[in-house]
Amino acid sequence: MAVDLAVDLNGLKLRNPVLLASGCVGYGHEYQHLVDYAKIGGIVTKSVSPLPRPGNPPPRIWETPAGMLNAIGLENPGIDRFLSEKLPLLNTLPCAVIASVVGGTMDEFADVAAKMDGADKIEALELNISCPNVSHGTDFGRDPAAAETIVKHVRARTKKPILVKMTPEAPDVVAVARAAEKGGAHAITLCNTWRGLAIDVESGRPRIANVTAGYSGPAVRPLALRLTWEVAKAVSIPVIGIGGIATANDALEFLMVGASAVQVGTALFADPAAPEQIVEGLGEFCARKKIDRVASLVKSFRP
The answer to the question of residue 207 being in a domain is no
Per-residue confidence (pLDDT) for residue 137, from 0 to 100 = 78
3-state secondary structure (DSSP) of residue 255 = helix
CATH code for position 144: 3.20.20.70
The answer to the question of residue 289 being in a domain is yes
The answer to the question of residue 302 being in a domain is no
DSSP state of 59: P
The answer to the question of residue 205 being in a domain is no
Number of domains comprising the chain: 1
Nearest to residue 102, comparing CAs of 153, 56, 180, 46? 46
Per-residue pLDDT of the chain (303 residues; tens, 9 = 90+): 799 999 999 999 999 999 999 999 999 999 999 999 999 999 999 999 999 999 999 999 999 999 999 999 999 999 999 999 999 999 999 999 999 999 999 999 999 999 999 999 999 999 999 988 887 778 899 999 999 999 999 999 999 999 999 999 999 999 999 999 999 999 999 999 999 999 999 999 999 999 999 999 999 999 999 999 999 999 999 999 999 999 999 999 999 999 999 999 999 999 999 999 999 999 999 999 999 999 999 999 999
The answer to the question of residue 189 being in a domain is yes
**Residue ranges making up the domain that contains 249:** 7-57+74-197+217-297
Give the Cα-Cα-Cα angle 240, 242, 248 (nearest 5 degrees): 95
The answer to the question of residue 264 being in a domain is yes
Per-residue confidence (pLDDT) for residue 128, from 0 to 100 = 97
3-state secondary structure (DSSP) of residue 201 = coil
CB-based contact 84:233 (threshold 8 Å): no
Distance CA 112, CA 99 (A): 10
Cα 303 from chain centre: 26
The beta strands (E) that lie in 129-222 are given as 162-165, 187-190, 194-197, 199-200, 205-206, 212-216
CB-based contact 86:103 (threshold 8 Å): no
The answer to the question of residue 29 being in a domain is yes
pTM: 0.97
Residues belonging to the active site: 131
The answer to the question of residue 171 being in a domain is yes
- The amino acid sitting at 108 is E
